[in-house]
């Protein structure tokens, strides 16, 4: 399917929000076109509402058609506040950067885990899995658990990824980066519910730090949770009406 037909599907057809935003993730070109179509929704609704009202009061309009026109105009008009709200929310989060793919190599990488992280970053999941096995069999360190969570997230195993990330944070509450990295990786793969829960928990453990809140805002925006994204962004920027997880 071409970009414009898919954009029409994303912008106009009723579907579960999670499916809509998975389509947006998979087809960024169509998503951009869908946003352009959505931007025209308000004038289209206003013009259609006015046209229906004119038809309702025009001389010679049949009574049944007059009643239908008034009902349709009222129905369309009720959508105006929703469209205005969505436009305002999208405008507020327009400056958010795209949700990044978390790197495996990081500040906590040590000699014992460097080879695993390097394998993950070059996309060699099989090698990373082999190297992780002995690190997880004994008494795993938080960094090994973070890498195991990332490996599971990239493979689409959301439950396993969440469990490993939570174990890392339980062993060391300062390792909330495991929750944030895993949440970001899951969100980029369309596992929005699990991702947001991990990111919320990571933001709490971080003391509602600005970087964690900005990452949460980007994930919320990626998942189509625009109100929540604006709330997290407002909190990160110190705006009143802060969001609590």
Q: To 10 degrees, what angle do helices 41-57 and 80-92 make?
A: 170
**pTM for this structure?**
0.83
| Stretch 5-12: mean pLDDT | 85
Position 122 pLDDT exceeds 70: yes
Q: Quick one: average pLDDT of 192-215?
A: 96
User: Which range is least confidently modeled, 49-53, 174-178, 214-218?
Assistant: 49-53
Architecture of domain 111-236: Alpha Horseshoe (1.25)
Q: What is the mean pLDDT of the chain?
A: 91
User: Cα separation of 231 and 54, whole Å?
Assistant: 41
Return the pLDDT at 140.
93
What's the average model confidence in pLDDT over 205-211?
Answer: 95
Spatial CB neighbours of 194, under 8 Å, sequence gap ≥ 6 = 158, 159, 161, 162, 183, 186
> Do residues 116 and 145 touch, judged by C-beta distance below 8 A?
no
**Residue 205 confidence (pLDDT):** 97
Q: pLDDT of 225-245, one tens digit each? A: 999 999 999 999 986 444 554
- What's residue 36's pLDDT? 83
Range 119-126, long-range pairs (CB < 8 A, 24+ positions): 120/147, 120/150, 120/151, 120/154, 125/151, 125/154, 125/155
Tell me the average pLDDT across 43-55: 89
Backbone region of residue 241 per phi and psi (left: phi > 0; alpha: psi in -120 to 50; beta: other values):
left
Domain boundaries, the chain: 3-92, 111-236
- How far is the CA of 192 from the CAs of 31, 98, 220, in angstroms? 17, 15, 8
Residues 125-158: pLDDT tens digits? 999 999 999 999 978 999 999 999 999 999 999 9
Structure tokens at 41: 């929704």
Residue 135: predicted pLDDT: 95
What pLDDT shows up at residue 2?
A: 65
Instruction: Please give the residue that has the higher pLDDT: either 46 or 186.
Output: 186
CA distance 64 to 71: 11
Answer for the pair 212, 202: CB distance below 8 angstroms, yes or no. yes
pLDDT digits (tens, 9 = 90+) for 58-95: 988 888 888 999 999 898 888 888 888 988 999 999 99
The torsion defined by the Cα of 47, 48, 52 and 54, in degrees rounded to 10, comes to 20
Q: What is the pLDDT of residue 239?
A: 65
């Amino acid at each position: 399917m071409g970009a414009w037909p898919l954009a029409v599907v994303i912008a106009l057809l009723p579907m579960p929000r999670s499916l809509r935003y998975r389509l947006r993730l998979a087809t960024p070109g169509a998503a951009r076109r869908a946003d352009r179509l959505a931007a025209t929704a308000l004038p289209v609704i206003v013009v259609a509402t006015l046209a229906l009202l004119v038809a309702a009061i025009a001389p010679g309009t049949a009574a049944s058609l007059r009643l239908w026109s008034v009902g349709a105009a009222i129905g369309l008009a009720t959508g105006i506040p929703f469209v205005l709200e969505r436009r305002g929310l999208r405008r507020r989060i327009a400056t958010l950067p795209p949700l990044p793919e978390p790197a495996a190599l990081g500040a906590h990488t040590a000699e014992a885990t460097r080879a695993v992280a390097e394998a993950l970053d070059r996309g060699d999941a099989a090698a990373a899995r082999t190297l992780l096995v002995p690190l997880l069999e004994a008494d795993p360190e938080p960094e090994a658990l973070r890498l195991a969570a990332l490996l599971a997230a990239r493979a689409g195993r959301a439950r396993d990824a969440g469990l490993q990330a939570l174990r890392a944070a339980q062993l060391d509450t300062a390792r909330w980066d495991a929750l944030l990295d895993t949440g970001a990786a899951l969100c980029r793969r369309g596992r929005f519910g699990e991702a947001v829960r991990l990111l919320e928990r990571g933001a709490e453990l971080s003391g509602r730090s600005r970087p964690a809140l900005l990452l949460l805002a980007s994930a919320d925006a990626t998942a189509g949770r625009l109100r929540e994204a604006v709330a997290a962004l407002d909190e990160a920027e110190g705006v009143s009406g802060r969001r609590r997880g």
